[in-house]
Chains A and B, each alone.
Chain A
């Protein structure tokens, strides 16, 4: 097992390098001169030239890439000019908030999605199946930012169950109760779309498995139907559900950008959008690379979980 994990980690290296190349190439496409962008159009040519030298932008592209890569490997992602602080500090601080939001949403959508999919499959064409199918359709069709806004109107403004926005109360203790109070709505809004997708795929994975011969064997043994569905079938269906969970984690992370804006959540998504609007390129670069790297690592964890679940996978 340890060997398998090590091999998966090694195989991630080219992927991570590829990500840096893609980000670098996209950023190199930026028209105009970053130094001018930073200093503004009234900067003196001498200042522009000096900044270009400081940023290493007078060197050829390939050299620039390796300097950038080398700096990143040493933990230096550059300086955000808009915030005037190191990119890495800003990103790590913001990423914590995003992880709390996206992580909660991911747990919620995995749980609800799989349960809804299993119930839907076990009761195919029944009442529960129809209700779930409809709710799932609604869930995958509603823009998460619109859903978030409607939740604010309903549960924060009208019913006053939850605070309107933010991660912490402005006054008062920053304890777990306060966090949960602020987290509930954005996490639910973020989970809805992924729940729908996971429920759909779980349903079809379960339908596929329930037709297999070993399900008939379980029934022939006299295994109660609940156990047939939740143990025999679900265990086998998880083999195809887990990779979907890995993909959905990326969608949850993506959706977090909108939810962070709607709920004023101090996460990395909001930071990126602000950075783009302010053309704070180094912050965008650093943020994208770090978040993408985390996502790659997460997918390795998914693969490992998969190999633990399926003894037929050679580790």
Chain B
């Protein structure tokens, strides 16, 4: 509760709404005690007195009644009616919803059919029909407004109840012999209450508007008693000659409803856990950059990643997902990046083209040089013209990464046409050619399929075809085979390998699978907790891993035809990247760890082809530098 109130108070707008609303409610409460003129006493001699005139702060209405007094009494009535309608609708709706959701089956079916039926009406028709039946009057308007809103509550609450009714604690209560009534009151209701509060806080303003509306139409409060709506309705006749009588009551409705809406939004944000984490922000077109100095260029490699640092800033926490990574790729080369999930390998890959979701991602240091030019902090248009044209990505899980509502043909055509001015027909021919080149049978007809109509392997081929659309120089493949079964995986790998040989593509291949690395990659970099712990030629690392982590990671891979051997999981978990230790990040899980490992940062050391970040590598690297 206190956490809720703090969250609510942190929301400035909600706070203001609450303060103003509290003021209005307070005024309405103490109205009978204030030294005001009688609201219903007419004095036609003094009709339509202007605001700020003697004895009438807001002037008088068409019957000479004091507007300030009528306004406060009207506010009192409107607030009471709106609140009562909300309470009735919430109570009835919640009761119906809980019963439907809790009992399920036929009860649920019958109730929800009825609710759907009521929701098939534009709400005012139902309200008008009810008022027509009961006759005009404030109480009847209240009943109509409450009744119209019952289905909304019933539907919302039912949804939540259904999800709760089958949870363990409810089953436990049942087994403990609690009666249904007790379960509903003591187990279900407390859990549904926040939803009821959210629904009420977002609809109460609406209900005040609706009752005011019915009164405005002359179907609500009857003279001489007036709520804000009927005041406005009566003032309408003199709208043109004496607008102040209309403005006073209309503005009051506006202020009340606006404050309630502000407060309601605040309540919803504070109670809704999904919004609470601030998760609902959209990523901008290119990752945010905030770095101090840029490392100097060192040669003209095709792609050179230099001490890259990427962090996620979530509230006060900083997650160092990539903590200074260096990589180099040359044409025709395949570089593997391997590591457990969360080791920073995907973030490294996405940082290259500024595709790390931002917020919360920020590139805080280093450089990514494409043929010598730094891409980090490059203008958006520069990045965009390289993306998909010179540097293309293949992602994991192509069901989520392809647009579900466009055909694969449209998506391929677009990939070509955003970089080259070609006619649509020509681009379509190119799309079919691309699909054929990734060995999709029936490319002619497949081009018009939607992603959900293809198998997982097919979709991944489409993903690769899309990456190839503009004959890129570099393909960055982020676990492209993880979601696929083994035979399809093998086909995709050999396809990539062929493309690399035929077209001289450079490939950065991200995986957690040493088998895949062995099959495809010339060089491999092993990542742990956002850093490279070992790098070198694939062959050398596979036969003699130098870092204890690499060795342990390899021991996790089962091999066919190697006989019985212990399949070892690595004990412990990788460190959380928002609390990295001072020394070696693997020390906690390493059998060889000693004092010096934890003392201070360990550099990536080595000469020539191999490098390792360990003060006591499993094999001495000096001997291998010749290779």
Contact = CB atoms under 8 A, between A and B. Distances in A.
The 7 closest A-B pairs by CB, nearest first: A146-B250, A254-B124, A222-B388, A210-B282, A141-B258, A18-B117, A221-B388
Given A137-B258, A143-B212, A153-B239, A211 B357 contact: yes
Contact of B123 (A23, A222, A250): A250
A221 B418 contact: yes
Given A15-B120, A217-B402, A253-B122, 14 more contacts: A30-B132, A121-B282, A141-B257, A141-B261, A146-B254, A211-B357, A219-B355, A223-B414, A236-B403, A257-B217, A288-B128, A292-B125, A295-B120, A311-B450
Contacts of B591: none
B119 to A, nearest CB: 9
Contacts of B219: 273, 276-277
Interface stretch (B183-191, B391-399, B514-522): B391-399
Interface string B328-341: 00000000000000
A241 interface: no
A138 B283 CA distance: 28
A163 B452 CA distance: 54
Interface string A103-144: 000000000000000000110110000000000011011110
Interface stretch (A51-59, A62-70, A225-233): A225-233
Nearest to A140: B261
A208 B282 CA distance: 8
Contacts of B392: 220-221
Interface string B376-415: 0000100011111100110101001111111000000011
B580 to A, nearest CB: 27
Interface in B108-157: 113-114, 116-118, 120-126, 128-136
B231 to A, nearest CB: 11
Nearest to B213: A258
B262 interface: yes
16 contacts: A15-B117, A27-B129, A30-B132, A141-B261, A149-B250, A157-B240, A214-B404, A220-B393, A221-B418, A222-B415, A222-B419, A227-B418, A235-B406, A257-B124, A273-B219, A292-B120
Interface in B14-36: none
B285 interface: yes
Interface in A173-214: 204, 206-208, 210-214
Contacts of B125: 254, 272, 288, 291-292
B400 to A, nearest CB: 4
**Interface SS of A by simple majority:** helix
B401 A221 contact: no
Given A142-B254, A211-B283, A312-B452, A216 B212 contact: no
Contact of B240 (A150, A153, A236): A153
B133 A30 contact: yes
A309 interface: yes
B280 interface: yes
A19 B129 contact: no
B418 A26 contact: no
Interface of B: 113-114, 116-118, 120-126, 128-136, 205, 209, 212-213, 216-219, 229, 232, 236, 239-240, 243, 246-247, 250, 253-254, 257-258, 261-262, 280-283, 285, 353, 355, 357, 380, 384-389, 392-393, 395, 397, 400-406, 414-415, 418-419, 450, 452, 466, 469
A262 B236 contact: yes
B132 A213 contact: no
A219 B406 CA distance: 16
A48 interface: no
Interface in A284-315: 284, 288, 291-292, 295-296, 299, 309-312
Nearest to B209: A143
Nearest to A283: B132
Contacts of A167: none
B116 A15 contact: yes
A152 B397 CA distance: 57
A251 interface: yes
Contacts of A30: 132-133
B288 to A, nearest CB: 13
A275 B353 CA distance: 67
B134 A29 contact: yes
Given A15-B117, A236-B403, A262-B236, A228 B253 contact: no
A261 interface: yes
A143 B247 CA distance: 12
B232 A145 contact: yes
B378 to A, nearest CB: 14
Contact of A149 (B239, B283, B400): B239
B254 A224 contact: no
Contacts of A210: 282-283
Contacts of A142: 254, 257
Contact of B405 (A153, A218, A239): A239
B254 A143 contact: yes
B246 A149 contact: yes
A263 B387 CA distance: 55
B239 A152 contact: yes
A219 B405 contact: no
B281 A219 contact: no
A248 to B, nearest CB: 10
Nearest to A238: B405
A83 interface: no
A204 B384 contact: no
Nearest to B148: A254
Contact of B418 (A31, A206, A207, A224): A224
A140 B216 CA distance: 18
Given A141-B257, A220-B388, A251 B400 contact: no
A39 interface: no
A100 interface: no
A222 B384 contact: yes
B283 A236 contact: no
Contacts of A223: 388, 414, 418
Nearest to B217: A273
Contacts of B236: 149, 262
Nearest to A29: B133
A245 interface: no
Contacts of B131: 276
Contacts of B216: 143, 145, 258, 261
A217 B116 contact: no
A88 interface: no
B282 A124 contact: yes
A300 B257 CA distance: 33
B347 to A, nearest CB: 13
A124 B281 contact: yes
Contacts of B135: 31
B121 A292 contact: yes
A22 interface: yes
Contacts of A269: 124
B258 A222 contact: no
Nearest to B466: A221
Contacts of A214: 400-404
B451 to A, nearest CB: 9
B285 to A, nearest CB: 4
B414 to A, nearest CB: 7
Interface string A242-270: 00000000110111011001100000010
B455 to A, nearest CB: 16
A35 interface: no
Given A220-B387, A222-B387, A235 B132 contact: no
Please indicate which of the listed interface residues B128, B282, B384, B469 has the most CB atoms of chain A within 10 Å of its own CB: B282
B263 to A, nearest CB: 12
A283 to B, nearest CB: 10
B122 A273 contact: no
Contact of B128 (A227, A235, A273): A273
A213 B395 contact: yes
